[in-house]
Amino acid sequence: MAQVQRMSRLMVKTLRDDPADAETLNHKLLVRAGYVRRTAAGIWTWLPLGKKVYENVARVVREEMDAIGGQEVLLPALLPKEPYEASGRYEEYGDLLFRLKDRKGSDYLLGPTHEEIFTQVVKDQCSSYKDLPVILYQIQTKYRDEARPRAGVLRGREFQMKDSYSFDASDEGLAEAYALHRAAYQRIFERLGLDYRIVSAVSGAMGGSASEEFLAPAPAGEDTFVDCPECDYAANTEAVTFALKPVSVDGHPAVEELDTPDTPTIETLAEHLGVPASATLKNLLVKVDGEIVAVGVPGDREVDLGKLGEHLAPAEVELVTAEDFEGRDDLVRGYVGPQGLEKVRYIADPRVAPGTSWITGANKADRHARNVVCGRDFEVDDYLDVVVVEAGDPCPACGAGLRLDRAIEIGHIFQLGRKYADTFQLDVLGQNGKPVRVTMGSYGIGVSRAVAALVEQSADEQGLCWPAEVAPADVHVVAAGKAVQTELALDVSEQLNAAGVRVLVDDRAGVSPGVKFTDAELIGVPKILVAGRRSAEGVLELKDRRTGEREELSVAEAIARLSA
């Protein structure tokens, strides 16, 4: 049977002050409440209370993974380099990978994630389509030499992840495994009491649900995402799309050239003409696989080169340099306009729709043109969403002004396809006796990060404030100090424990009631039960940690209430 946890014996040292180097709430509070201890940058020790919370999160994850038919395994963290060399990731990971040598000089790494090794396991264990589908998972320590591990357990260099991998003989099977994971993740994060959004992790161009992220909104988050205040639309900033709305090209005055000396930038041009930057058309020149391409966006918007790169992949996108203008009389640096740019492919943002009129370069030094109308004076070869999304941009679903918010990535689900199966030639014998290449999904949850996300979302000025499912105890019993109070506190604690309630009791001698109350608030167990003034009459005070509501109860009432 579970034991009452007695503060007098528990290794927990609370601190009044935040650690000097702490920037985030989870770092400050988990250290101050004695849940974790920093061992080195991004490397954490889980102390008794912290380990309880960590295990509660892990238990929820495990139960829901088991419920979708996941089979738990445990792979090593210390790995030979060869499989990662085969996949190319030994190089690709760069400085993120911890590399080491054994005594014979052979190369090893500390696993950052395990697609390669799981693929090898399944190749070894499964040979027929009858052995599939398979979902394997582990809750295991991962290693990534993060550049700035400064957000407490939110971003560790050593951290705990649930990683699972699905193996199927068909695309339909993969879609099903993906849907199972998505639903399991929803149940997991709901049970944990996390507020979260699901966003597509890939740009609109690739579309679909091949990869989605689970984001927990919190100011300490390192990801930015867009959120609609009016409807349930949420997306990765890279995935926001803007609808193309063509209007009539008629009714505009004719193109007029303007003398605009020394105005090679949007700022200098807008100032010279006394117009807003949004009235001008910015034409960024880039090289796509070596060929010069112009990208048109409104003058007040920035081009997101990452988004552009994703749209044009696998082609490579680079910025142009001075040499690229040599022998190109058609390209006048700083004065490029899409009208008359015959030899250059023109990509534009949908904001540059047919019928819109612009001030733009006249393709002559120190000259610009106005009344340059899209669809009349120039044509767009390809419309791509390439501008950096800004707060207030219209929601693609309902048109309301979007918000930009910060969030923590707590989970990621991904239809990998046959990438690793191809690398390791993972085939099974199909129904017709011919080999079938296996298709794979990979799915992660940051288990230690989820603990941090819970703190970031639920803590208040007094300290931690755990949702019931993950709290280190159900009730924190406080013995105010006198013998009769300690006696009552211990008595009710034993009775609660016998009724299946998880109890932490502050039975410390020589600690003032004030300190005990402050510690109880800081430690953050959902219910606080105080044996105080009316202990001699057998009356206790029950306080809700979150709402602060209090009520007086007899021992029997307290037990009935808390074991309900």
Q: Contact positions toward ligand ATP, by CB under 6 A?
A: 113, 144, 146, 155-156, 159, 161, 409-412, 444, 446, 448-449
Supply the minimum distance, in Å, between the C-beta of residue 202 and Mg ion.
Answer: 11
> Closest CB to ligand ATP among 75 and 244?
75
282 touches which of ligand ATP, Mg ion, none (CB within 5 to 8 A by kind)?
Answer: none
Q: What is the Cα–Cα distance from 386 to 298, expressed in whole angstroms?
A: 11
**Peptide bond before residue 217 is cis, with ω within 30 degrees of 0:** no
Cα torsion angle, 348, 353, 355, 358, sign: negative
> Closest CB to ligand ATP among 449 and 516?
449
Q: What is the Cα–Cα distance from 88 to 422, expressed in whole angstroms?
A: 13
Supply the minimum distance, in Å, between the C-beta of residue 469 and Mg ion.
Answer: 24
Question: Could you write out the DSSP letters of every residue in 510-536?
Answer: T--HHHHHHHHHHHT-SEEEEE-TTGG
**Is 516 among the residues that bind Mg ion (CB under 5 A)?**
no
283 touches which of Mg ion, ligand ATP, none (CB within 5 to 8 A by kind)?
Answer: none
Quick check: helix, strand or coil at residue 254? Answer: coil
Supply the minimum distance, in Å, between the C-beta of residue 228 and Mg ion.
Answer: 23
Q: What is the Cα–Cα distance from 111 to 74, expressed in whole angstroms?
A: 12
Supply the minimum distance, in Å, between the C-beta of residue 222 and ligand ATP.
Answer: 6
**Is 282 among the residues that bind Mg ion (CB under 5 A)?**
no
516 touches which of Mg ion, ligand ATP, none (CB within 5 to 8 A by kind)?
Answer: none
Supply the minimum distance, in Å, between the C-beta of residue 14 and Mg ion.
Answer: 34
Pairing of strands 475-479, 527-531: parallel
> From residue 397 to residue 416, what is the string marking binding to Mg ion with x (rule CB under 5 A)?
---------------x----
156 touches which of ligand ATP, Mg ion, none (CB within 5 to 8 A by kind)?
Answer: ligand ATP
116 touches which of Mg ion, ligand ATP, none (CB within 5 to 8 A by kind)?
Answer: none
Q: Where are the beta strands (DSSP E) in 174-331?
A: 197-200, 211-217, 223-227, 234-236, 256-259, 281-288, 291-298, 317-319
> Closest CB to ligand ATP among 7 and 199?
199
161 touches which of Mg ion, ligand ATP, none (CB within 5 to 8 A by kind)?
Answer: ligand ATP
Phi/psi region, residue 28 (left: phi>0; alpha: psi -120 to 50; beta: rest), is alpha
144 touches which of ligand ATP, Mg ion, none (CB within 5 to 8 A by kind)?
Answer: ligand ATP
In terms of Cα–Cα distance, which of 325, 295, 323 is closest to 309?
A: 295
448 touches which of Mg ion, ligand ATP, none (CB within 5 to 8 A by kind)?
Answer: ligand ATP
> Closest CB to Mg ion among 144 and 412?
412
On whether the CB atoms of residues 359 and 279 are closer than 8 A, the answer is: yes
Pairing of strands 403-417, 427-429: unpaired
Supply the minimum distance, in Å, between the C-beta of residue 161 and ligand ATP.
Answer: 5
Supply the minimum distance, in Å, between the C-beta of residue 218 and Mg ion.
Answer: 16
Q: What is the Cα–Cα distance from 499 to 321, expressed in whole angstroms?
A: 74
On whether the CB atoms of residues 453 and 21 are closer than 8 A, the answer is: no
Residue nearest ligand ATP by beta-carbon distance: 446
On whether the CB atoms of residues 407 and 218 are closer than 8 A, the answer is: yes
> Closest CB to ligand ATP among 335 and 414?
414
In terms of Cα–Cα distance, which of 75, 395, 370 is closest to 232?
A: 395
Supply the minimum distance, in Å, between the C-beta of residue 218 and ligand ATP.
Answer: 13
Binding residues for Mg ion, rule: CB under 5 A, are 412
